[in-house]
Amino acid sequence: MHVHVLLFGALKDLRARETETVELPEQATVADFLRRFVAAAPEVGKYAGSLAIAVNREYALPSQVLREGDEIAVLPPVSGGSADEESIEGSDSIHLQRQPIDAGPLVAAVKEGEAGAVAVFDGIVRNNTRGRRTLYLDYESYEAMALSQMQGLARDARQRFDVRRIALVHRLGRLQVGETSVLIVVASAHRAQAFDACRWIIDTLKKTVPIWKKEWFEDGAVWADGEPFPAEISVRESGANSDEKKP
Give the model's confidence band at 239: pLDDT under 50 very low, under 70 low, under 90 confident, else very high.
very low
* Per-residue model confidence (pLDDT) at position 91: 64
Cβ proximity of 110 and 185 under 8 Å: yes
Closest CA to 191 of 134, 137, 113, 117: 117
Cβ proximity of 107 and 185 under 8 Å: yes
How many residues are listed for the chain in this entry?
247
In the predicted model, what is the mean pLDDT of residues 154-159?
Answer: 94
For 47-77, the pLDDT digits (tens) are 767 788 999 999 999 999 999 999 999 988 8
Hey, what's the torsion of the CAs at 95, 99, 101, 105, to 10 degrees?
-80
Higher pLDDT pick, 78 / 202: 202
Percent of the chain with pLDDT over 70: 89
CA distance 136 to 178: 10
* Model confidence at 241: pLDDT above 50: no
DSSP structure class, residue 164: S
Top mean pLDDT of 75-79, 158-162, 223-227 is at 158-162
In order of their start, the domains of the chain are 2-75 (3.10.20.30), 85-223 (3.90.1170.40)
For 1-37, the pLDDT digits (tens) are 999 999 998 888 888 899 999 999 999 999 999 888 8
* Model confidence at 87: pLDDT above 70: no
148: region left, alpha or beta (phi > 0 left; psi from -120 to 50 alpha): alpha
- CA distances 21 to 37, 70, 119, Å, are 10, 10, 45
What are the φ and ψ backbone dihedral angles of 62, each rounded to 5 degrees?
-60, -30
CA distance 38 to 48: 7
* Per-residue model confidence (pLDDT) at position 236: 59
Q: How far, rounded to the nearest angstrom, does the alpha carbon of residue 140 sit from its chain's CA centroid?
A: 9
* Model confidence at 89: pLDDT above 50: no
In the predicted model, what is the mean pLDDT of residues 191-212?
Answer: 95
CA distance 210 to 34: 18
Give the model's confidence band at 39: pLDDT under 50 very low, under 70 low, under 90 confident, else very high.
confident
What are the φ and ψ backbone dihedral angles of 8, each rounded to 5 degrees?
-135, 160
For 175-186, the pLDDT digits (tens) are 999 999 999 999
CA distance 18 to 5: 8
